[in-house]
């Protein structure tokens, strides 16, 4: 059974692709050479990352004092960055797990990169709880390891400990989920690879995938199980992160609304970051046919929805602060809005509450430039949200005698910029070495009426659709390489046809299953 969609729906993949076209398009960045722009951006990100690593080493070598913290404000940029990155790391798993369970097939075009983004963002996030420790060399004490100190265990009451478990679980499940999804695609890349070393590497990564029905069966089952596992994690991670604050006594932190509010905020910022990255990637890697306006519009709707949820949460906080009549909490919110950090509060309000509301207009949510700008603005806003929650609550809490101001140092900024650099280094490397689309899954949503598939495979050679823009727009070397690549490509084409057939079978199988389930 093929997927049948109503005419009125926009197709998920444009450009009348054949299965082979998909394989070609996705494998092109891996097999081709990067252009100057890639090297430029990579170099820039690398420099930032190095600067960040330097600042981290300086912090670890000299002491946390090189940051701007003080006796009253014990966390500032460190935990702000941590929560921000964790939030960004939310979209990937949400897309791949939750949308998988909800059978949102449009996710297939974006889930691979969104998951990659998740992995990298969580890596960046995990850095901060480590380096913010005064004695990072004792960091392993937060793990419940058997030890020689007697029966000395971590404090299971501490939300910080829950964080350790939540983040590490989330990270490992996300990583496994991502990798499982990659296996068939790695196999495709392996099969196309000519150079011996990459071929060897990809064959290791492909885990002996041969594409037989048994493999596909297991693949589907594992994916479903992992999706089931990952879904609660999407909600638990940020709930637990929010408990770092919610379980404390500090006015402005001590709020029961935090778990849903944080999860909504995380999805909000995660989708914004996915948008930022995808909009660049679809342009650079020429994936316009796969990441269509429809995808962008869907994501914008999610951004708008979660942004509105965040907005409601902000207003609820204000209402509760007033309604509860607690002196300290009332002041905490008064101080946020009118105190020395009013600019941070109003930046947050503008970026997170007002800007997503523009998405109500179809023209705006289908406009790539505006979407890109708004996605960046949302992420700036979300960074400010965490800054506002952490710093403005801490800097003026109960005892007025201890009120202070927080002034960041260049090391604070350096570490943050460094993680952005490092994130992009990883993402750029990923985009050149990994199949950036789940190519085997994407094929299942190709409107494969047979017409396209046949046309695609038979007309290869005549149809230079995917090669054309390369010739036109990018540097010469690609053109020079084209003849060298040709035989390999032909071989690959043959192979991929096989794969396609298999996956077609698989798809129909899946379709049957789905149908059966639906009937049940």
Residues binding another protein (CB under 8 A) = 58, 61-66, 68-72, 74-75, 129, 132-136, 138-139, 141-142, 152-155, 157-161, 164, 244, 247-250, 327-328, 331, 334-335, 337-338, 394, 396-405, 407
Q: Minimum distance between the CB of residue 310 and another protein, rounded to whole angstroms?
A: 24
Q: How does DSSP classify residue 463?
A: B
Q: How does DSSP classify residue 460?
A: B
When the beta carbons of 393 and 431 are compared against another protein, the nearer one is 393
Enumerate residues 6+ apart whose C-beta is below 8 A from 188: 23, 27, 435, 439, 440, 496, 499
Q: Minimum distance between the CB of residue 165 and another protein, rounded to whole angstroms?
A: 11
- What SS3 state is found at 254? coil
**Relative orientation angle of helices 293-324 and 327-338, to the nearest 10 degrees:** 130
Enumerate residues 6+ apart whose C-beta is below 8 A from 187: 206, 209, 210, 211, 499
Q: In the chain, helix, strand, coil percent, each to 5?
A: 75, 0, 25
**Nearest Cα to 352, choosing from 267, 258, 458, 229?**
267
When the beta carbons of 334 and 380 are compared against another protein, the nearer one is 334
When the beta carbons of 101 and 152 are compared against another protein, the nearer one is 152
CA angle 60, 61, 65 (to 5 degrees): 70
When the beta carbons of 237 and 446 are compared against another protein, the nearer one is 237
When the beta carbons of 139 and 315 are compared against another protein, the nearer one is 139
Q: Minimum distance between the CB of residue 67 and another protein, rounded to whole angstroms?
A: 8
Burial of 239 (0-12, 13-18, 19+ CB in 10 A): buried
When the beta carbons of 179 and 398 are compared against another protein, the nearer one is 398
Is residue 390 within 8 A of residue 402, CB to CB? The reply is no
When the beta carbons of 405 and 513 are compared against another protein, the nearer one is 405
Q: Minimum distance between the CB of residue 27 and another protein, rounded to whole angstroms?
A: 45
When the beta carbons of 26 and 66 are compared against another protein, the nearer one is 66
When the beta carbons of 159 and 511 are compared against another protein, the nearer one is 159
Q: Give the Cβ contact number of residue 155 at 10 Å.
A: 8
Q: Minimum distance between the CB of residue 10 and another protein, rounded to whole angstroms?
A: 49
Structural tokens at position 128: 């901060």
Quote the strand ranges of 202-269, DSSP E: none
When the beta carbons of 231 and 393 are compared against another protein, the nearer one is 393
Q: Minimum distance between the CB of residue 399 and another protein, rounded to whole angstroms?
A: 6
- Provide the CA 124 distance to its chain's centre, in angstroms: 12
Structural tokens at position 493: 């084409």
When the beta carbons of 342 and 430 are compared against another protein, the nearer one is 342
Tokens 């008064």 found at: 334
CA angle 215, 220, 226 (to 5 degrees): 120
When the beta carbons of 218 and 407 are compared against another protein, the nearer one is 407
- CA gap 205, 512 in Å, rounded: 30
Enumerate residues 6+ apart whose C-beta is below 8 A from 488: 192, 194
Q: Minimum distance between the CB of residue 398 and another protein, rounded to whole angstroms?
A: 4
Q: How does DSSP classify residue 400?
A: G
**Nearest Cα to 169, choosing from 229, 221, 228?**
229
Q: Minimum distance between the CB of residue 134 and another protein, rounded to whole angstroms?
A: 2
When the beta carbons of 402 and 459 are compared against another protein, the nearer one is 402
Is residue 330 within 8 A of residue 321, CB to CB? The reply is yes
Q: Minimum distance between the CB of residue 277 and another protein, rounded to whole angstroms?
A: 31
- CA gap 311, 320 in Å, rounded: 14
Q: Minimum distance between the CB of residue 380 and another protein, rounded to whole angstroms?
A: 23
Q: Minimum distance between the CB of residue 397 and another protein, rounded to whole angstroms?
A: 7
Enumerate residues 6+ apart whose C-beta is below 8 A from 338: none
Q: Minimum distance between the CB of residue 60 and another protein, rounded to whole angstroms?
A: 10
- CA gap 82, 389 in Å, rounded: 13
Q: Minimum distance between the CB of residue 318 and another protein, rounded to whole angstroms?
A: 13
- CA gap 140, 437 in Å, rounded: 37
**Nearest Cα to 91, choosing from 261, 279, 273, 230?**
273
């Amino acid at each position: 059974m093929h997927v049948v969609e109503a005419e009125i729906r926009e197709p998920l993949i444009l450009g009348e692709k054949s299965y082979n076209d998909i394989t070609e398009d996705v494998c092109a960045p891996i097999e081709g050479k990067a252009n100057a722009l890639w090297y430029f951006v990579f170099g820039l990100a690398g420099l930032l990352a190095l600067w960040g690593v330097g600042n981290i080493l300086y912090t670890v070598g000299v002491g946390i004092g090189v940051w701007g913290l003080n006796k009253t404000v014990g966390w500032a940029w460190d935990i702000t960055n941590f929560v921000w990155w964790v939030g960004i790391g939310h979209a990937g798993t949400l897309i791949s797990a939750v949308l998988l369970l909800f059978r949102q097939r449009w996710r297939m075009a974006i889930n691979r990169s969104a998951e990659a983004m998740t992995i990298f963002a969580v890596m960046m996030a995990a850095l901060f709880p480590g380096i913010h420790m005064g004695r990072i060399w004792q960091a392993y004490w937060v793990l419940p390891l058997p030890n020689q100190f007697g029966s000395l265990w971590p404090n299971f009451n501490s939300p910080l400990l829950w964080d350790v478990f939540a983040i590490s679980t989330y990270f490992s499940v996300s990583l496994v989920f991502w990798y499982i999804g990659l296996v068939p695609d790695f196999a495709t890349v392996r099969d196309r690879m000519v150079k011996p070393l990459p071929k060897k590497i990809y064959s290791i990564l492909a885990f002996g995938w041969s594409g037989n029905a048994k493999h596909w069966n297991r693949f589907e089952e594992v994916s479903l199980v992992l999706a089931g596992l990952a879904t609660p994690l999407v909600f638990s991670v940020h709930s637990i992160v929010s408990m770092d604050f919610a379980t404390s006594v500090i006015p402005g932190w001590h709020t029961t609304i935090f778990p849903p509010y944080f999860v909504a905020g995380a999805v909000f910022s995660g989708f914004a970051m996915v948008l930022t990255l995808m909009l660049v990637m679809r342009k650079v890697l020429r994936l316009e046919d796969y990441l269509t306006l429809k995808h962008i519009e869907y994501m914008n709707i999610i951004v708008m929805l979660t942004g509105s949820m965040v907005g409601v949460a902000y207003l609820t906080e204000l209402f509760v602060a007033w309604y509860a009549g607690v002196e300290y909490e009332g002041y905490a919110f008064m101080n946020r809005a009118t105190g020395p950090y009013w600019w941070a509060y109003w930046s947050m309000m503008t970026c997170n509450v007002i800007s997503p509301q523009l998405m109500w207009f179809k023209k705006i949510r289908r406009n790539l430039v505006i979407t890109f700008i708004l996605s960046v603005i949302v992420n700036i806003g979300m960074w400010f949200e965490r800054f506002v929650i952490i710093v403005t609550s801490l800097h003026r809490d109960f005892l007025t005698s201890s009120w202070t101001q927080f002034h960041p140092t260049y090391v604070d900024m350096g570490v943050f910029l460094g993680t952005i650099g490092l994130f992009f280094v990883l993402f750029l490397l990923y985009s050149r070495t990994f199949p950036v689309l789940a190519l085997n899954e994407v094929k299942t949503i190709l409107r494969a009426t047979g017409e396209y598939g046949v046309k695609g495979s038979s007309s290869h050679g005549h149809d230079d659709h995917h090669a054309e823009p390369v010739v036109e727009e990018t540097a010469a070397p690609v053109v020079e390489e084209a003849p060298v690549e040709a035989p390999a490509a032909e071989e690959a084409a043959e192979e991929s046809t096989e794969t396609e057939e298999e996956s077609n079978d698989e798809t129909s199988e899946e379709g049957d299953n789905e149908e059966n389930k639906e009937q049940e």
